[in-house]
Amino acid sequence: MRLMLLMLGLGLLLVGCGALETYPKDQEYRVVLQIADQDGNPLAGAAVWVDLSLMEERSAGEFSIAGQGFPSEWQGWQYNFASPTLTTRIDYEGDTDIVGVVVSKTGYRTQEWEWEVEEWSDRLFFRRVVIMEPLCPGTQG
């Protein structure tokens, strides 16, 4: 019995208590965008790629209002694109992953940026206002 306790204590000493966490882990996140023209009107039909995957849905022609299911500080915020719940892999404690987002529509300049996803106890949400610029000003609308 003493030998078993000694081995267990030695194992914890060598591995450390943090090793009880299981990695890799999947971190859930959602991307919520307000995609608009230069006048601030919703721009319908923009394609969105998240982490190199083209999303099925395109931006809507009307804004929706953030309510239930969104962070409380977002209540009332307008959006016209919301991704499904997505996941990325967190390989070890303190690890992060970079998620790229691209928004594109024919006749407009493509917009792209990145977010850093870190381990969190709940689903993460990312939001951004995307003002699409026409390739040839004065020809849109």
CATH number at residue 101: 2.60.40
Sign of CA dihedral 18, 29, 38, 67: negative
Q: Are 95 and 84 in contact (CB under 8 A)?
A: no
Q: Which residues lie below 8 Å from residue 127, measured CB to CB, with a gap of 6+? A: 31, 32, 33, 34, 74, 77, 79
Average pLDDT on 79-107 reads 96
pLDDT at 7: 53
Average pLDDT on 77-83 reads 97
**Is residue 31 one of the residues assigned to a domain?**
yes
pLDDT band at 89, cuts 50/70/90? very high
CA separation, residue 104 to residues 7, 12, 15, 111 (Å): 59, 52, 48, 7
Model pTM score = 0.81
**Is residue 8 one of the residues assigned to a domain?**
no
18-62 pLDDT tens trace: 556 789 999 999 999 999 999 999 999 999 999 999 999 999 999
Q: Are 80 and 128 in contact (CB under 8 A)?
A: no
**Is residue 1 one of the residues assigned to a domain?**
no
**Is residue 12 one of the residues assigned to a domain?**
no
In the chain, the number of structural domains is 1
Tell me what the pLDDT averaged over the chain comes to.
Answer: 88
**Is residue 125 one of the residues assigned to a domain?**
yes
pLDDT at 9 over 90: no
Between CA 117 and CA 100 the distance in angstroms is 10
Between CA 51 and CA 115 the distance in angstroms is 10
**Is residue 74 one of the residues assigned to a domain?**
yes
**Is residue 7 one of the residues assigned to a domain?**
no
Range of the domain at 85: 17-131
**Is residue 9 one of the residues assigned to a domain?**
no
